[in-house]
Structure formats: structure tokens, C-alpha cells
């Protein structure tokens, strides 16, 4: 089996061109491939498949081997992979689990259109919304000093969110239009270097009270930008932009 490794601001993925539908979609196999000690290693695995109407289809699996909801950085990396495979030139449209996405490639930068977000639930200490995946966003004073693994795990597994699971983002505003975001991801069950849908949720939470676009987001693995327009309800025309790079290519015998 031929595979590629991609990363977007440190969020890394195993990529497989599955247009011939030969990849065995086994939960245990995918979990093994994503294992950093006994496999290739990655925050998830993504299959590129054919679609009847659009350039391709994205099928995303978390590192635990289960098919999951939308992954923003994974989507950007898959767009870069499809561009590498000469599926499109500069602009594309593809189908994912949360619906249709558009994207643009400019060198290593990939700009991905996210779904419109209408339902934003604001509580005194946090905000919850779905940007393709469900997210909890809390603004804190010093995110750099937090134990994101411990605090994120507590929230992800509390009675409110335990059944469906939720991704947990802690955010600190570092300048007028810049945020520092750290994320605990469900399915990975750990802090990741970056989370595209989490960065998007964090930026939209910030934009509710600030007329700033784009918002610059620092994550452990680099910098991203989020663009959005306020709508009558929520936000529309939401774009996530940042680098997506091929790390290496390999072949693996699947038994």
C-alpha cells in the first residue's frame, strides 16, 4: 500500500489515494497505522476517494480508528494531496462528511471554506458550536501555562459532553487580532499541535464581540488565519488558511 504523510501546522495525517477502493477500512488497522510507536504515526488517516459530482471525496478517521466528523487541517492537507495528484489546478470543490467544501491552493498555503455556523451556544464561561466538528471554547488569561491534557480531558469526559464527546479549546488573546489556541481533541484523546475546526470555533467566538477579520491564530505548530462574515444568525463565508505540506511517502504491506 502506498501512503503519504502530510502535516498542517503540526496536525499530521496519513494520506491514502483510495480512488480504486482497495483500502481495507478496518478500525484496528487504521488505529495501528496512526500509532506513533508501532505504525506510521498521525493524528488521523484520510482517504481520498472519487465523488460523482465534485473533484473528490474526503473520508476522515481519527487516530483511534473510527470514522469521524470534519477535520479542518486534514481537509487542507487533503486538498494539497489532491493538488499533488493533479486532480485540479488551483481551485477545487470536494465532498466531506459535513457537506461541500471549496478550496484554493497558492504554493504551500491552502485556503479552505468551512461550513456556515448558525447555532452558537454562549454560556458565562465558555461557548459551544459546531464548525464541522463539535467544539468547546474557553478564553483564559495564560493558555501557555495550562495543563491542556488534564483540563481538556476533564471537560471532554464530563456528564454534559461525555456521550458524544467534544473537542476542547483554550484561548488567550495576545494582540488586537491575534489569538493563541491550544486544543484537546476527542478521538486523539490528547492535545494536538493544531486543530483547524477548533481554531475556526475559537476565531468565531472572538468575532462575536470584535469586528476583526482575518483573525490570526497561533498554535503550537505554527500560524493560521480565519476569515468570516457575520450573518443574521451566526457566521457565513468562513475560510481557514494556512500551510499544508507533504512530509514523506512510503509503502506498507497490509496483512
Q: Active-site residues: which are they?
A: 71, 195
Q: Is 185 among the annotated ligand-binding positions?
A: yes
Q: Is 74 among the annotated ligand-binding positions?
A: no
For residue 239, give the nearest of 74, 107, 119, 72 by alpha carbon: 72
Q: Is 19 among the annotated ligand-binding positions?
A: no
Q: Is 182 among the annotated ligand-binding positions?
A: no
Please give the distance of CA 246 from its chain centroid, rounded to a whole number: 16
Cα–Cα distance, 186 to 178 (Å, whole number)? 25
Q: Is 11 among the annotated ligand-binding positions?
A: yes
Cα–Cα distance, 217 to 34 (Å, whole number)? 26
Q: Is 160 among the annotated ligand-binding positions?
A: no
The total of other beta-carbon atoms located within 10 Å of residue 141's CB is 8
For the chain, count helices (H), then strands (E). Answer: 4, 17
Q: Is 223 among the annotated ligand-binding positions?
A: no
Task: Specify binding-site residues for substrate.
Answer: 11, 62, 72-73, 167, 185-186, 196-197
Task: Specify binding-site residues.
Answer: 11, 62, 72-73, 167, 185-186, 196-197
Amino acid at each position: 500500500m502506498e501512503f503519504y504523510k502530510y502535516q498542517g501546522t503540526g496536525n499530521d495525517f496519513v494520506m491514502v489515494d483510495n480512488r480504486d477502493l482497495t483500502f481495507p477500512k478496518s478500525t484496528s488497522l487504521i488505529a495501528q497505522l496512526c500509532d506513533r510507536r508501532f505504525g506510521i504515526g498521525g493524528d488521523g488517516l484520510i482517504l481520498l476517494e472519487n465523488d460523482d459530482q465534485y473533484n473528490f471525496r474526503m473520508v476522515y478517521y481519527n487516530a483511534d480508528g473510527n470514522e469521524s466528523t470534519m477535520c479542518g487541517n486534514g481537509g487542507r492537507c487533503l486538498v494539497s494531496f489532491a493538488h499533488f495528484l493533479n486532480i485540479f489546478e488551483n481551485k477545487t470543490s470536494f465532498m466531506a462528511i459535513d457537506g461541500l467544501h471549496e478550496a484554493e491552493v497558492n504554493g504551500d498555503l491552502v485556503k479552505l471554506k468551512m461550513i456556515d455556523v448558525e447555532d452558537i451556544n454562549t454560556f458565562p464561561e465558555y461557548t459551544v458550536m459546531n464548525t464541522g466538528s463539535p467544539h468547546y471554547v474557553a478564553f483564559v488569561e495564560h493558555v501557555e501555562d495550562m495543563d491542556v491534557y488534564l483540563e481538556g480531558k476533564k471537560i471532554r469526559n464530563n456528564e454534559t459532553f461525555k456521550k458524544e464527546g467534544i473537542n476542547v479549546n483554550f484561548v488567550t488573546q495576545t494582540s488586537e487580532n491575534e489569538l493563541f489556541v491550544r486544543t484537546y481533541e476527542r478521538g486523539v484523546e490528547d492535545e494536538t499541535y493544531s486543530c483547524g475546526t477548533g481554531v475556526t470555533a475559537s476565531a468565531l467566538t472572538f468575532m462575536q464581540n470584535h469586528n476583526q477579520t482575518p483573525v490570526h491564530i497561533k498554535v503550537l505548530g505554527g500560524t493560521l488565519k480565519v476569515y468570516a462574515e457575520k450573518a443574521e444568525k451566526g457566521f457565513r463565508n468562513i475560510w481557514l488558511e494556512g500551510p499544508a505540506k507533504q512530509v514523506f511517502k512510503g509503502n506498507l504491506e497490509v496483512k
